[in-house]
Structure 1
Amino acid sequence: METQFRQGAGRLCLDFVRTLRLRGTPEAAEELPDAEALAAWIADFGPVTPKDSTPGHAQVVQAQALREGIYDLLAAARSGDTVVQSARSRVNRAAAEPVPQPRLDSAGQLQWTADEPVTAVLALVARDALDLVTSPMLERVRDCANPDCGAIFLDASRPGTRRWCSMGTCGNQSKKAAFRTRHQ
């Protein structure tokens, strides 16, 4: 199964949150529906891959729950609301797991290892989320201006005025619609 995951949200945890595409719309689509999709996401975004073992169904459910916990944690932190205990606990538990370990191989190349690659990469995602919600960069987390998108991203632009999760998709669609409206 060939999956194209969206990248470019600015943080690992935000790219992970985007695996629920079109969040908050009737067309919401799960990009991590099964073990193969989770393994593909880990291979695309993590420093280690689950080469010898496919994630189990329980790991898929845990990954989806972690994603929603991170989303809830970010939403609460951005709005100043109290974080839901279950979301905080879920993210804290995942962050407490061992992360991939670096090592230098005989050729002088950096390699990453983990006994449990899926758990280790999800620990990196959870730690990134904890770092983001406690950093000044949280003020730069934005909702995509496309009302049909539902993605969040880190605005790393100098003026801090980025509006779309991707200029190539949402921004382009918005500009085309505005152009059509002006020229009708």
Structure 2
Amino acid sequence: MILANSMELAPLDGQRFRFDAGTLCLELLVTGGEGELARWERLHTPGDLAAWIPYSRVGLGDLVQVSADELAATLRLRAALQRLAATAASGSRAFSGADLATMNEAAAAPPPVPVIGPALERSWVSPVTGTQFLSAVARDAVEVFGGPALDRIRTCEGERCPMLFLDTSRPGARRWCSMDRCGNRYKLRTRRDRHPSG
């Protein structure tokens, strides 16, 4: 099943799979990061960010204009969200005050402004700025980290998989970034362990 808000990802191993981060703020984390995640980096220029935003669940299309300063702000917010989400997924609530301040600063800017057209189609006041997009991401993060969803932030249980997501399943039992990737690898490994050859 392909979820409405899932993204198709193609990591370095070349296996494409669908991933649903469960929420906008964690969606941003699939664009790369610091340390081990630097090899996944997709946001090298403002144009890279402007090209990625239409794939996010905000639904801004190609309306966003991004400056170099806005790209730098995005990378700062993404790094803060990565640390906050990893802390939450570990079961800790020892969040960095600096990371929370980064989130709050981005959330304080005006978000994209929705409009409705004569045919009742939903759109946005154009152009949308990178700062407005970041505000939408940060406001989503405030809702997630400041509410009951915080206990549903998970790290994929796949071997060496760094993917973080919000478990939106009714029972709260999601374990994998994707059943097509890490879930399937686990099933195959379990089957081999049960039925070793020869």
TM-score normalised by structure 1 residue count: 0.83
> Residue 175 of structure 1: CA displacement?
1.5
Alignment-derived partner of residue 76 in structure 2:
65
2:32 to 20, 37, 58: 20
> Residue 15 of structure 1: CA displacement?
1.0
- Tell me the secondary structure at the aligned position of residue 153 of structure 1: strand
Alignment-derived partner of residue 117 in structure 2:
105
Corresponding residue pairs, total: 179
1:147-171 per-residue CA deviation (whole Å, 9 max, x = no partner) reads: 3211111112232221111111111
Change (3 A) 1:26 1:70: closer
C-alpha contact 1:42 1:118 (8 A) present in aligned 2: no
> Residue 29 of structure 1: CA displacement?
1.2
Alignment-derived partner of residue 156 in structure 2:
144
Alignment-derived partner of residue 178 in structure 1:
190
Letter in 1 for 2:83: D
Q: Which runs of 5+ in 1 are unaligned?
A: none
Within 1, Cα distance between the matches of 2:125 and 2:178?
Answer: 32
1:132 to 144, 151, 165: 144
- Tell me the secondary structure at the aligned position of residue 161 of structure 1: coil
> Residue 35 of structure 1: CA displacement?
2.1
Change (3 A) 1:59 1:110: same
2:41 to 19, 27, 30: 30
> Residue 39 of structure 1: CA displacement?
0.9
> Residue 26 of structure 1: CA displacement?
7.4
Change (3 A) 1:7 1:120: farther
- Tell me the secondary structure at the aligned position of residue 123 of structure 2: strand
Root-mean-square deviation over aligned CA pairs:
2.6
Higher mean C-alpha deviation, range 62-71 or range 30-39: 30-39
Q: What is the aligned-residue identity percentage?
A: 35
C-alpha contact 2:86 2:155 (8 A) present in aligned 1: no
Alignment-derived partner of residue 154 in structure 1:
166
C-alpha contact 1:25 1:148 (8 A) present in aligned 2: no
> Residue 120 of structure 1: CA displacement?
1.1
Within 1, Cα distance between the matches of 2:179 and 2:64?
Answer: 38
Alignment-derived partner of residue 96 in structure 1:
108
Within 2, Cα distance between the matches of 1:52 and 1:157?
Answer: 31
